[in-house]
Structure 1
Amino acid sequence: MSATTFGHRGVEAVQNKDWEAAIPLLDKALESSNAPSWLLARAQAHQQLKNYDAALRDAELAYHAAAERGSGNSRKQMIEAQYRRSVVYHKLERYADADCCAKWSMLLAEGRPVGEDDGVQKKVDENGNYIVTYEDGVADHKGQPGQPAQGTSNSNRVLGLMNSQSAGTAKTGFESDWKRAYTWRSQVLGRLKSLPEDHPGWKINVTKVPPKPQAKPQKTPDPEPESASDGEEEKPAKPVGPAPGSVPDEQLKLRADFYQSNQNVSVSLFVKDVKKEDLSVKFFKNKVEMSPLPRAAAPYVKPGDREATSTFTLGGDIDPLKSRWSVTPRKVELVLQKATPGVKWATWGSEEIGRVASEDAGDQPSATPLAETAENKTAPTASAAAPPPTATGAPAYPTSSRSGPKNWDKLGDTEGDDDPQDVNYFFKQLYKGATPEQQRAMMKSFIESNGTALSTDWEDVKNRKVETVPPEGVEAKKWEA
């Protein structure tokens, strides 16, 4: 199979969010060429799998590869590389660095010179803390490609920002990239303003042009095994893949999703090709042990290996005898019966690789582990009826989503890889980050103008009716029954 085929399939796997499958395909493709598009795709896959160092390295290498090629797609790839750096730094809680990279992504999308000394990373106080605020980020749109000309009313300028109407600044072809970086900054700066003053996330440790990563050393191929001589036994072949214990625990952990009702906590653990007949699941009052689990990052693991076992420390106590589990080709589902119904868990829990000894001598698995009985091989579906909320007010979160249960309490905690090009997404982000007074102004102006104007200035709109201002070439007419 050619490098191009590997690369095409790897990019396709990233588009389908099959991160584990994408990385080996892109690894093979990149053995032949440092194509920026392949590097950026692999950076995204590594980021989703929490391999942040690898993701950052790929994003930085993609920036240099695009700059050196100087092709028609180079600027767009450099814009994407800066954006990807920003997302990774956000994950690493380096929020000031994340905002700098997001701003550089915007400047490139505006058509600004690549080598321009814009001074973004110099905006610090005497203590070296970043001084750009959330309000600065929201107001920073004068360079947006296609924005209305200076002097346009505040309400129409915001609408122009949402609809990319070009009435002043020339379009560059990167309008959607600019909007994505602009919207992402609201999340970065929103996190930054909530940090304590001594948090390292306030410091700038990044440069506009990233240091070029060194090429990875080529692996020396193992010597060909010698043929067995007469009278000597042939040695077994070496196992394929890295040796046990060589993969960090953080890379072995499973991606998890959950939702809860008054009675249960449903947890989805995303792991492929689990053999239901071989899987052992043991429920304790505050943890679950599971083995053997195939690992995408370490496919060599076997039953009995430490890496094949996970211990899930739970966010609350459960009734082991009433908890259940099931297996599908892509995940393991746990339905945990709360020991105290109506109590809301802050989180489902956390995963540790291997077995974790219990500090409570009374913490024993159920006398007949549910994982080992045939009648419990199939758990009820996630849409099973749940009782209504109790007086405690604990919410119930049923779902019919094809993508599985969601933790709706964390819906706002996005990681920047949703599609922010949608106008509704932008409006939600703008509204969520506004002050109560700004939100009041937005609602009043939007409703009174029939959706044609949007203002964040309450002083401007509180004592007047906001008139309907249709786009150029459109005539506003009153609706008649």
Structure 2
Amino acid sequence: MSAITLAQQGIEALDKRDYADALALLDKAINQGTNSPAWLLARAQAHYQLKDYEATLSDTALAYHSAFERANGDTRRHLITAQYRRSTAYFQLGRYADSDCCAKWSMLLAEGRPVSENDGVEKKVDEAGRYTVTYEEGLADKENQPNYGLGGHASQSPAGLGETGFKREWARAYTWRSQVLARLQALPIDDPGRFVNVTKIPPKPDTKKPAKTVEKKIERAPPASPGGPVEKPPVTPGSVPDEKLKLRSDFYQSNQDVTVSVFCKNIKKEDLVIEFGENHVRISPLPREEAPYVKPGDREATSTFILADTIDPSGSSWTATPRKVELKLKKAVPGHKWRAWAEEKIGSVDVGAATPTSTSDAQPSAAQAPVAAPALAPAPAPAPVAAQAPVYPTSSKKGPKNWEKMGEDEVADDDEAGDVNAFFKKIFKSGTPEQQRAMMKSFTESNGTALSTDWDDVGSRKVETVTDGGFVPKKFES
């Protein structure tokens, strides 16, 4: 099979997230003697997903030199991607200063700056050698953000016009830097991750394929022997460093919530127990690729995430698929921007009492006999109580106002009666899409006599007109 066919199959496997197959196919393609930068970068991505970060760095360095030597229309794109992948690998290795330098170089290349420019990024250190760029400086570093170009190549637009064609690549590196610098800022002052040990042009590897990768491949598929297949030595509890057990995650946020994706293969939703506390989230059991012995109850089956800020546990929730756990964390202080979301600790770390959000969080005390329970899953939303009407937030000195009982036994304050429409607009604007749909449906169908934010209540029925107080609705007749 030709190298091109093998490489195409490898990239297709990479797109399907079959990283082991992608690595094997790309190995064969590259070993036929073609140092294609695109193939090397694809193999680097496969190494990264398989958590072989040293091999990732080796392939990105080789891709960088190969792209530079070829000097064709795709060279700059390959150089930009190589610097970005260097950044992500250094991040996983705890070398956060090096990671930010590479992300910055990726941005500069996307801006159309000269490849060989001595920009001094790695020299921004103090007298002790600690990297001095701050999180705030990273956020403000948008002066030379490029616009979309005509065809995706820097050569098609003169440098300095802001149209290099690499806006997406620039935005990717810029966004990634916020995560890197947030982690860097949280490090102790003398942590090794604060020191720069990287150069703009990576040293060229001696071989196309790092020796470490070959060793790993041998471990995965040991040679057969006359006595039968050779078994790999068993992996025992505690033999895998915590850093290798940590999971990849991503997050985004709104004024009210932080939504987090925690990636892990072969998750069984029915077995998960997720505990929300004001300053932590604990998830168990988690299967670990690096520790195949893991089972419920093992230390390595649990991750405790120490949150960067506080949450409202009762308003937080979760869902799960076989490949990830998604957390929706309700901010304790709405509108406050989180710079990072959490630091992962392996095991059940003691962080104080947690506030359960579902029956799956409750743990029996020592005095209680264990009781068999059904498979655990996210608790359903509590059923609406007919006797209790919704209570909406208010700035009134008397506290929350029950608007459905307005006029029965109380009189609105002047500040509340002044602009009711503005108040309801504020509720609508701050509500979730589901709450907004509920408000629109209930208000329209009831002819303006009822308002609800509970979609579970009004979504499947017609909201009738409220006729209390002597009001009799009449249909319009032409």
TM-score scaled by length of structure 1: 0.51
Q: Distance in 2 between matches of 1:146 and 1:335?
A: 44
After superposition, residues 187-336 of structure 1 pair within 5 angstroms as 205-208=198-201, 210-212=203-205, 214=207, 215-217=209-211, 218-219=214-215, 222=222, 224=224, 227=227, 237-238=231-232, 245-246=239-240, 248-249=242-243, 252-257=246-251, 259=253, 262=256, 267-296=260-289, 298=291, 301-314=294-307, 315-316=309-310, 318-319=312-313, 324-335=317-328
Verify: 1:59 aligned to 2:60, yes or no.
yes
Q: Distance in 1 between matches of 2:172 and 2:201?
A: 18
After superposition, residues 50-129 of structure 1 pair within 5 angstroms as 53-66=54-67, 70=70, 76-77=74-75, 79-86=77-84, 88-89=86-87, 92-94=96-98, 95-96=100-101, 98-100=103-105, 103=108, 119-120=118-119
> In the alignment, which residue of structure 1 is the partner of 2:347?
354
> In the alignment, which residue of structure 2 is the partner of 1:145?
155
Q: Distance in 2 between matches of 1:388 and 1:84?
A: 52
> In the alignment, which residue of structure 2 is the partner of 1:31?
27
> In the alignment, which residue of structure 1 is the partner of 2:165?
176
User: In the alignment, is the contact (CA less than 8 A) between 2:286 and 2:302 conserved in 1?
Assistant: yes
User: In the alignment, is the contact (CA less than 8 A) between 1:37 and 1:77 conserved in 2?
Assistant: no
Question: Structure 2 vs 1, CA of residues 191 and 121 (structure 1 numbering), >3 Å: closer, same or farther?
Answer: farther
Shift of 1:316: 1.7
How many residues in Structure 1 have an aligned counterpart in Structure 2? 349
Q: Distance in 2 between matches of 1:183 and 1:225?
A: 52
Shift of 1:307: 2.6
Verify: 1:377 aligned to 2:366, yes or no.
no
Shift of 1:223: 6.1
Shift of 1:292: 1.8
Q: Distance in 2 between matches of 1:191 and 1:255?
A: 11
Q: Distance in 1 between matches of 2:264 and 2:283?
A: 12
State percent identity of aligned pairs.
Answer: 29
Q: Distance in 1 between matches of 2:11 and 2:175?
A: 27
Question: Structure 2 vs 1, CA of residues 102 and 355 (structure 1 numbering), >3 Å: closer, same or farther?
Answer: same
Q: Distance in 2 between matches of 1:180 and 1:101?
A: 11
Shift of 1:28: 1.0
Structure 2 residue matching 1:176: 3-state secondary structure: coil
Shift of 1:10: 4.2
User: In the alignment, is the contact (CA less than 8 A) between 1:324 and 1:336 conserved in 2?
Assistant: yes
Shift of 1:275: 1.6
* Paired AA for residue 268 in structure 2: K
Q: Distance in 2 between matches of 1:389 and 1:328?
A: 35
Q: Distance in 2 between matches of 1:188 and 1:260?
A: 18
Structure 2 residue matching 1:31: 3-state secondary structure: helix
Question: Structure 2 vs 1, CA of residues 88 and 185 (structure 1 numbering), >3 Å: closer, same or farther?
Answer: same
Q: Distance in 1 between matches of 2:306 and 2:177?
A: 33
Q: Distance in 2 between matches of 1:125 and 1:323?
A: 41
Question: Structure 2 vs 1, CA of residues 243 and 66 (structure 1 numbering), >3 Å: closer, same or farther?
Answer: farther
Question: Structure 2 vs 1, CA of residues 208 and 247 (structure 1 numbering), >3 Å: closer, same or farther?
Answer: same
User: In the alignment, is the contact (CA less than 8 A) between 1:286 and 1:313 conserved in 2?
Assistant: yes
Structure 2 residue matching 1:369: 3-state secondary structure: helix
Question: Structure 2 vs 1, CA of residues 343 and 8 (structure 1 numbering), >3 Å: closer, same or farther?
Answer: same
Q: Distance in 2 between matches of 1:189 and 1:258?
A: 15
Question: Structure 2 vs 1, CA of residues 305 and 202 (structure 1 numbering), >3 Å: closer, same or farther?
Answer: closer
> In the alignment, which residue of structure 1 is the partner of 2:449?
none
Over aligned residues, Cα RMSD in angstroms? Answer: 5.9
Q: Distance in 2 between matches of 1:261 and 1:138?
A: 26
Q: What CA deviation, in whole Å up to 9, does each residue of 1:170-210 have, x standing for no partner?
A: xxxxx635x666777877999999999x9998979424463
Q: What CA deviation, in whole Å up to 9, does each residue of 1:398-426 have, x standing for no partner?
A: 479xxxxxxxxxxxxxxxxxxxxxxxxxx
Which is bigger in relative contact order (C-alpha 8 A, separation at least 6)?
1
Structure 1 residue matching 2:38: 3-state secondary structure: helix
Q: Distance in 1 between matches of 2:141 and 2:64?
A: 27
Shift of 1:61: 1.6
User: In the alignment, is the contact (CA less than 8 A) between 1:36 and 1:66 conserved in 2?
Assistant: yes
Listed as ranges, the gaps of 5+ residues in structure 1 are 150-156, 163-174, 229-234, 401-481
Question: Structure 2 vs 1, CA of residues 125 and 317 (structure 1 numbering), >3 Å: closer, same or farther?
Answer: closer
Q: Distance in 1 between matches of 2:83 and 2:233?
A: 36
Q: Distance in 2 between matches of 1:40 and 1:309?
A: 33
Q: Distance in 1 between matches of 2:125 and 2:240?
A: 44
Question: Structure 2 vs 1, CA of residues 343 and 296 (structure 1 numbering), >3 Å: closer, same or farther?
Answer: same
Structure 1 residue matching 2:262: 3-state secondary structure: strand
Question: Structure 2 vs 1, CA of residues 313 and 192 (structure 1 numbering), >3 Å: closer, same or farther?
Answer: closer
Q: Distance in 2 between matches of 1:121 and 1:181?
A: 21
* Paired AA for residue 294 in structure 1: P
Q: What CA deviation, in whole Å up to 9, does each residue of 1:253-289 have, x standing for no partner?
A: 1424354665x66544333432223323344454333
Listed as ranges, the gaps of 5+ residues in structure 2 are 31-35, 134-139, 147-152, 363-371, 382-389, 397-425, 435-478
